[in-house]
Structures are given as structure tokens and as C-alpha cells.
Amino acid sequence: MQQLTNRSIALKSRPVGMPTEQNFEYREAPVQEPEAGQVVVRSVYLSVDPYMRGRMSDAKSYVAPYELNEVISGGIVGEIVASKSDLFKAGDKVIGMLGWQLYNVVDAKLVRKIDESIAPLSAYLSVLGLTGLTAYFGLLDIGQPKAGETVVVSGAAGSVGMFVGQIAKIQGARAVGIAGTDEKCAYLINELGFDAAINYKTTKDLGKALEEACPNGVDVYFDNVGGSVSDAVINLLNDYARIPLCGAISSYNSTDGDMGPRIQSKIIKTRSLMKGFVLGDYASRQQEGLTQLGKWLSEGKLKYEETIVDGFDHIIDAFLQLFQGTNLGKMLVKVD
Amino acid sequence: MQQLTNRSIALKSRPVGMPTEQNFEYREAPVQEPEAGQVVVRSVYLSVDPYMRGRMSDAKSYVAPYELNEVISGGIVGEIVASKSDLFKAGDKVIGMLGWQLYNVVDAKLVRKIDESIAPLSAYLSVLGLTGLTAYFGLLDIGQPKAGETVVVSGAAGSVGMFVGQIAKIQGARAVGIAGTDEKCAYLINELGFDAAINYKTTKDLGKALEEACPNGVDVYFDNVGGSVSDAVINLLNDYARIPLCGAISSYNSTDGDMGPRIQSKIIKTRSLMKGFVLGDYASRQQEGLTQLGKWLSEGKLKYEETIVDGFDHIIDAFLQLFQGTNLGKMLVKVD
């Protein structure tokens, strides 16, 4: 293997509130030779996701916190550039949870081969990856929308939300999205077939806008954001509503306690169900989800959108943009 | 049938905040002769319950609001004093959802015969009635405690709570009760076998007291009260915790919006489940519940407690006492 220079990004200090560049450290070092059973993966696309903010803190959560002074990890699609494993040869495209670096030298069992003839490489980080599967299992297993019911999704133009609305439509439900710009709302309605979309930033009375968009109330609320948006949706729950709790992005950088109206009385009155979940809860059903998502994709029933930021040096930028609501669909970084 | 004089209590106006005597009207009228198929039931024990506060408002809820100027209804155990039905004869003891009056003249199908040889009449309004069944289904169907897990119940010395803790113990779980007086806490531990009990009114740091009482965290939180007590318990949830939401008595008379820390982030991080329920959701399984509760009662595994207020004129008093936390176990009024 020719001598390659690696670059990586480590967590230097734990952010308080919104992370800044100062919380991270860029490093350079030679790429090590792979040992027996290892492969060298050149990063092509790198996924930045809101859940990573949680891992940067050391609070107890569903995934272990990132270690200080260690390279940050996440979903990465790449190409094998050297292999000492029978599983892969140079040129193979793979996906895995890898480090934020130009090259990862890892055990071959930690990556999975992907097929560029089925979908573009980047799709394996969205519709055929974690975000598609998250929408699939959260909506269908917890939300269980029925034909004619109303599904509201917050963060609707985000990487998970846009699949939630489309899968709701496939199930015959009414899909109502909440997003943060008029462009996103137009996209949800015109391109993805949502029945209605609300710009929560410019709408003066979110409760009233939701009532108009949901004349029959809310049966499923797929929640990506938490905060006051969720307060307004919960107020409109129908009896036996279901709330898959996927994210609370509005509170991830909150340092003020995240106060709001208590929801228990409403949950009782409507006998609703609220359940937090992570994709890992459905590990044993991953293939089922990928097969169904691939089928819908090939039938043209699922569209996906990406916001691609170019260059390894812009990873932190791209990550921080997640919290400014600028991205449409999955936020990715093209590394090379 | 001899001419009897009836007395009844109607809802005169909808309470704002805590109800007062002025919201109710006492009436007197002759008891009507039963028609074919009807029975006349003399009230013996009358149940007052927190959920009735909700019915006094006209907000949308799981049961229809009480109508203004109509007699208030609830669970009543009584004796048949006249029957024009083949189903009952004078002297039979029955239970039903009947009006707050000395005598109810109703279709015989609206009441169910009960057997004084199995348990005292009043037990059919608690352990062998709505509150026992509510504890049974909420804890076992939603909470699903496993041996060795920790179950916390708020309102633990209340009519539902004391069964929750005892059934948790029967399942091999650790039972921790939260109640409002030292006497209640002592009762929970010494008489009902709870592992720990916390007086939330006198404990300076409820969070710390809960941590000490729940060294392994909280797996099931059976919530009867809502409010800041629930905030503290939710803070200690283990992964995959379950929260049967039974009541939010702390908010029923609230007129200030019931604000608190939002719980969604914690529910996500722990992938917990929260579900509101009412006993009516389990109507088809009622006999299963009554059979099991009766079995545990006969085996001495379930104890129950009643606070009995004497006299029809003290019904409103008894109802209001529910919100002052003075009752131990089921609050009943002995009518005659």
C-alpha cells in the first residue's frame, strides 16, 4: 500500500450548549498498514446526525458518550483501498460506523458491502440506511398509522421526517409536516406528496394552523423535535393516539431546563401511548426494513433528498448546520 | 312499595379550580314506582373518586362530562328494596354506576349481583371493583413488572396505589410508594409490605430520597398524581421503563397551566413507554381480573383499606377530602 496521510477529527472538550470549532481537534498521521483480517476504507460520504450531539456530552444516554481525545465516529460510506481480508477486495464499496477520518483501518467484519447498482452510494446513508430504517420502524411499529388517520411529523424536511410522511402516505394516512422554512414546506407538499405543511417559524398561531391542517385531530405524532412544537401537537391528540419519540432536537443544546406544559393529563385523557426508541431496538428486523424500503424506492414511491457539504474540513460546519435547520433531507459530507 | 322519600345531589355549576358546596344542589322528591324490568336500589356504600372532578368540567375527556342540573353518578353498592325484574328480589345486594341519591330506580340490567359471603359489601367498590381492577390491568398490562425490578407508585396510599404496590410485590418486584403523610408511609411498609415509602410533603429533596429508595433505578412508574412528584421519578427511569398513566390528581384543580420540565428527552434516552389508560379499555378482561384479585384476597396476599365517611350529607365533604390527601385507601360514603 502506498504511504497515505490520514486526517481525523477528535473531541477535545465537551460542548456546553451549542458546540463550536473549539470543541474539536484536527489531527494528521500516516495511515497504518492493515493487519490480517483488516481493511483500509477511504471515506467517501460521511453522515452527520443530531444524535451525535448527545454523544458529545457525558450524560447517560442510549449510546455511550464519545471519549475525550478520541476520534468521533458515525455512519460512513467508503471504498476499500487495501484489504487483508477475504471478505473484500480493493474497489469494493462498503458502509459502517467508522471514525471521522480520511481513512479507517478496521476489522473487515465492521463494514458491510453495498451495491451501487441498486442506489447511489449516498443513499445508503439515508433512505437505505439509518434514517430510512428509523422512519420505517418508528412509524410502523409504534405509530401504526391506519388508512384515513392523520400523521403529524415534526422535523418533516429532515432526514427521518421526509420518509415518515411518505410512508404514512403509502399507508393511506393523511401526512402533515412541520418544518422551518417556506421552501421546505413547499417541497414536502409539491415533491413528497404531504397533504399539508406548516412553517412553525413564521406561523403566528401554531395551534390554530395545526387545527386547520388536521381537521380530524392527530392520531400519530412522530416527534423529532420536542419543545413548544410538540406542546402544540400534543394538544390535538385523538383518543388512543401514538407518539413515536425519535428526537428532541430543540432541547439538545438547551441549558435552561426545557420547561413546558406537563403532558400527562392529555396523555391520560386520550389514553395515548408515547414511546422512545432507537434504531438499535430493531436490529433483528433490519433486513425486513431494508427490503421494504428498497422495494418502495424502486417503485418510485419513496423520494429522498440530500444536502451535501463538500470537503473534510467542513464536517463540523455541516454538523452545526443541523441545529440551524438549513438542511433539506439528509445532511452528508462528501469527503474527497 | 311503601312511599319513600328520595334525596339526590345534582351538579348546579361547573367548578373552576377546587369545587365547593356551592357547585352542588340537594334535592328531595318521592321515589317513583319501578316499571316492568326495573328495580329500586337503596344506596348502602357510595364511591367518591378523583376522576369525577374531570366529569364536572366540560372539557373533552374519556368519559362524558356530568350534565348540569343532573344527578351526579358513580359506583354504588346497594340493596334491592323493590323489584319488577326476574333478575333480582328484595334483599339482593348489587353494584352499579348509579346516581348520588338514597334510591335509584333503574333497569335491572344496569346493576350486577354481588356476594357478601366472599367479601364485605364495601370491598366491591375497592379491591373487587374499579380500583382493584385499575391497579391490576395498569400495572400488569402496561407496567409489566418483572421479578427484581423496581416499581414506584405515586398516590401509593390511595385506593389504586395500595393495590399497585401489593401486586408488584406478588410479582417479585421491589415496591416503593410515595404518599403524603408519615402515617401513610408507615402503613405502606408495615402493613402492606412495601420495601420503601417516601413522604413527598416533608422530604426536602425528593430526588435524593427516591435515589436512596431505588438504588437500581426505576423500571415501572405507576403514576396517579403527575406534577413535580412525577418529574422527580421520571428523572430516575431505567432503560425501557414503563409508565402506566392512571391519574394526574395534582393537576385536576390546577388553573395555572401545570408547567414543568419536558420529559420527552428522558423518554427517548431511556426508550421508555408511557401510556394513558382507563379501566374501560379492559372491559373484556374484567372477569379475569376479578377472579385473580379474589384469589389473592382469599390467600391473604392482598390487603385493603377504606376510609368511610358516614352519611349522605357528607358526600361532597368526602369528595373534597380526596384532594387534600387525608384518606387512607378507598374513600367511601356509608349512606344510611
Query: Chain A residue closest to B253 (CA)?
Result: A265
Query: Is residue A189 very low, low, confident or very high in pLDDT (cuts 50, 70, 90)?
Result: very high
- CB–CB contact B259 A261 (8 Å): yes
Helix (H) or strand (E) holding A273: strand A273-276
- Residue A143, domain CATH: 3.40.50.720
What pLDDT is recorded for position B255? 62
Residues in A touching B275 (Cβ below 8 Å):
267, 271-274
User: CA-CA distance, A200 to A191, in Å (whole number)?
Assistant: 20
* CB proximity A227 to B under 8 Å: yes
Query: Chain B residue closest to A281 (CA)?
Result: B271
User: CA-CA distance, B13 to B22, in Å (whole number)?
Assistant: 8
DSSP string, A190-212: HTT--SEEEETTT-S-HHHHHHH
Which amino acid type is present at position A113?
K
User: CA-CA distance, A238 to A240, in Å (whole number)?
Assistant: 6
Q: How far is CA B130 from CA A122, B232, B330, in A?
A: 56, 28, 11
Residue B269 lies in a domain: yes
Residue A184 lies in a domain: yes
What pLDDT is recorded for position B254? 63
When CB atoms are compared, the residue of B223, B251, B260 closest to A259 is: B260
pLDDT digits (tens, 9 = 90+) for A247-275: 987 776 666 678 999 999 999 999 999 99
Residue B294 lies in a domain: no
- Residue B76, domain CATH: 3.90.180.10
Residue A317, SS3?
helix
Q: Mean pLDDT, chain A, as a whole number? A: 93
Q: Are residues A118 and A23 in the same domain?
A: yes
CB-CB neighbours of B277 under 10 Å: 21
Strands B38-47 and B73-83 turn out to be: antiparallel
Residue B189, SS3?
helix
Q: Are residues B228 and B183 in the same domain?
A: yes
User: CA-CA distance, B237 to A258, in Å (whole number)?
Assistant: 18
Domain span at A110 = 5-125+306-334
What pLDDT is recorded for position A329? 80
Query: Is residue A320 very low, low, confident or very high in pLDDT (cuts 50, 70, 90)?
Result: very high
Non-local (6+) Cβ contacts of A280 within 8 A are: A62
Q: Are residues A180 and A315 in the same domain?
A: no
Q: Are residues A197 and A63 in the same domain?
A: no
- CB–CB contact B271 A62 (8 Å): yes
Q: Are residues A177 and A227 in the same domain?
A: yes
Residue A329, SS3?
strand
What's the structural domain count of chain A? 2
Q: Are residues A68 and A172 in the same domain?
A: no
Task: Indicate whether this complex's ipTM tops 0.95.
Answer: no
Radius of gyration of chain A (CA): 20
Which amino acid type is present at position A40?
V
User: CA-CA distance, B238 to B149, in Å (whole number)?
Assistant: 10
User: CA-CA distance, B141 to A221, in Å (whole number)?
Assistant: 23
Q: Are residues B158 and B240 in the same domain?
A: yes
- CB–CB contact B264 A275 (8 Å): no
What pLDDT is recorded for position A192? 96
Q: Are residues B169 and B256 in the same domain?
A: yes
Q: Are residues B166 and B51 in the same domain?
A: no
Q: Are residues B108 and B134 in the same domain?
A: no
pLDDT digits (tens, 9 = 90+) for B227-274: 999 999 999 999 999 999 999 877 766 666 789 999 999 999 999 999
- CB–CB contact B276 A268 (8 Å): yes
Residue B248 lies in a domain: yes
CB-CB neighbours of B20 under 10 Å: 12
Looking at chain B, how many residues does it have?
A: 336
Residue of A268, A271, A279 to mutate when probing chain B, most B C-beta within 10 A: A268
DSSP string, B303-318: ---EEEEESGGGHHHH
Non-local (6+) Cβ contacts of A116 within 8 A are: A93
- CB–CB contact A258 B262 (8 Å): yes
Q: Are residues A103 and A135 in the same domain?
A: no
Q: Are residues A229 and A134 in the same domain?
A: yes
- CB–CB contact B269 A223 (8 Å): no
Angle between helices A227-234 and A206-213 (to 10 degrees): 50
Handedness of CA B190, B193, B199, B204 (dihedral sign): positive
B residues 18-57 lying closer than 8 A (beta carbon) to A: 54
